[in-house]
Amino acid sequence: MTAQVGEPSRSTGITYGDLPGYPAPWEFVNRRAAFLAGVHRQTQAGISGGAEGVDAICLSDGYTDDAFDGDLITYTGFGGQDANTRRHIADQQLVRGNLGLVRNYELERPVRVLVKKSVLTRNRQDNSYIYAGLYVVVHWDWALRDGFKVLVYQLRSLIGQTEAGLLSSLASLTGGAEEPERRGITTNRIVRDYKIAEEVKKLYSDVCQVCGTQLRTSVGTYSEAAHIRPLGAPHNGPDVPGNILCLCPNCHKKFDGHALTISEDWRVYDLGHPIGALKRNPRHGISMDHVAYHRESSQSSSRP
Cα→Cα distances 63→16, 81, 257, Å: 25, 10, 36
| Cα gap 102→75, rounded to integer Å | 12
pTM here is 0.59
pLDDT digits (tens, 9 = 90+) for 153-163: 989 888 766 66
Domain final residue pick, 186, 206, 232: 186
Residues 118, 18, single domain; the answer is yes
Report the pLDDT averaged over residues 37-51: 93
Domain final residue pick, 135, 167, 186: 186
Q: Which helix (H) or strand (E) holds 227?
A: strand 224-227
In terms of Cα–Cα distance, which of 230, 208, 251 is closest to 301?
A: 230
Residues 33, 97, single domain; the answer is yes
pLDDT digits (tens, 9 = 90+) for 79-91: 988 878 778 889 9
Which residues constitute the domain of residue 157? 2-186
More confident residue, 145 or 274: 274
Residues 114, 35, single domain; the answer is yes
Q: Long-range contact list for 263-268, CB < 8 A, 24+ apart?
A: 263/295, 264/288, 264/292, 268/210
Q: Do 262 and 278 meet the contact criterion of CB atoms below 8 Å apart?
A: yes
Domain final residue pick, 186, 215, 235: 186
| 11-25, 50-64, 160-174, 237-251: which is most confident | 237-251
Question: If you ran DSSP here, which 8-state letter would residue 181 be given?
Answer: G
Residues 246, 171, single domain; the answer is no
Residues 243, 144, single domain; the answer is no
Q: What is the pLDDT of residue 119?
A: 86
Q: What is the pLDDT of residue 131?
A: 93
pLDDT digits (tens, 9 = 90+) for 245-301: 999 989 998 998 999 999 999 999 999 999 999 999 999 999 999 999 999 998 865
| Cα gap 290→229, rounded to integer Å | 5
Residues 180, 214, single domain; the answer is no
Q: What is the pLDDT of residue 215?
A: 85
Residues 94, 78, single domain; the answer is yes
Percent of the chain with pLDDT over 90: 47
Residues 127, 225, single domain; the answer is no
